[in-house]
Amino acid sequence: MLGNQHRESRPAKGSAERAGAVGGLAPALFVYSDAMHNHVSLLTDYGLNDEFVGVMKSIIVDMAPHVRITDLTHGVPAFDVRAGSLALARAVQYVPPGIIIAVVDPGVGSTRRAIAVEVAGGRGIFLGPDNGLLGSGVAMAGGADRAFELSNTELHLEAPGATFAGRDIFAPVAAFLANGGAIEEVGKEIDTASVMPGLVPVPSDEKHPAHGDGMRCEVTWVDAFGNCQLNVGPDDVAPYGPVLKLVMGEDVRSARVVSHYAEIDGGAIGAVVDSYGMIALSVDRGSASETLRLQSGDAVLVFAGDGGTTTSSVTLRLGN
């Protein structure tokens, strides 16, 4: 690689330590184990117009050539930590064991911590900023076993500025861990309870003078087709009957609960159980986001439509 700044190979299997330089720093001894990771997943708000993603992947592959890399998404809205957190929560149940780098980091270069969170008995490690981005994904993976601040700068790359942690911190640390580097080497251990939790909106009961008892939901995600995922599952809307009354400000609509898009009548709104087990407002071959003028974070009040009843409390489900 140009610059020749990175480790080129892992020590022989069973080696306890290895000497080498990272980012042009003086050689140091690091502890290794036999627990190599073969897979790295990436989730960022970097987009694909610039070289950011390619540079991160180049560093990882240069330092750990055995690694396979999966791009979960680089289309998280810029600076939207909550959107990134929810995307991570949706994806993590399908990600193979290994390392997940998540970067949506409006506080990059500030006093916010860069962290590693170990899950599933060491089968998985999350790397990212400690700003709430990792919390929901860690929870979906069964919770944190251990957590570390990435304070060992000898594992980082030298850089003229502090605004690209994905390149300078997370990528080289991921490669170090993928090569079997001990997680204890990345920096000081921190209390798992101190890691900022995920930002997951919770539905609540709603009483309306005109529409009766219902619940207040929120749009958590608008996908590329304009489907508007809500923060509730089918069991949550079941008490309101097969037809829901949706109140969005002054706009009142009806939505029939359906199992797939083709069940939605032309021009109508459907409440579909989506691929993550959540309720999504949808239009067959159209955009519910445009039709209802909804975006992520908007409130949707749900009440019983024709023939509906309200009999139970509201709960939150994430995924299947």
Closest alpha carbon to 7 in 65, 69, 50: 65
- pLDDT for residue 24 is more than 80: no
- pLDDT for residue 14 is more than 80: no
Question: What pLDDT is recorded for position 36?
Answer: 83
For 89-138, the DSSP string reads: HHHHTTSPSEEEEEE--TTTTSSPPEEEEEEGGGTEEEEEESSSTTHHHH
Q: How does residue 302 score in pLDDT terms, banded at 50, 70 and 90?
A: very high
- pLDDT for residue 20 is more than 60: no
Question: What pLDDT is recorded for position 61?
Answer: 97
The H or E element containing residue 215 is strand 212-222
Render pLDDT for 279-294 as a digit per residue (tens, 0 to 9): 999 999 999 999 999 9
105 or 317, higher pLDDT: 105
Question: What pLDDT is recorded for position 32?
Answer: 54
Domain spans, the chain: 17-194, 204-304
CATH code of the region 204-304: 2.40.30.90
Question: What pLDDT is recorded for position 31?
Answer: 57
Pick the CATH number of 17-194 from 3.30.450.20, 3.90.1150.10, 3.30.70.580, 3.40.50.10790: 3.40.50.10790
Q: Any idea which of 176-185, 206-215, 273-282, 311-320 has the lowest mean pLDDT? A: 311-320
Render pLDDT for 142-157 as a digit per residue (tens, 0 to 9): 999 999 999 999 999 9
pLDDT above 90 as % of the chain: 75
The H or E element containing residue 312 is none
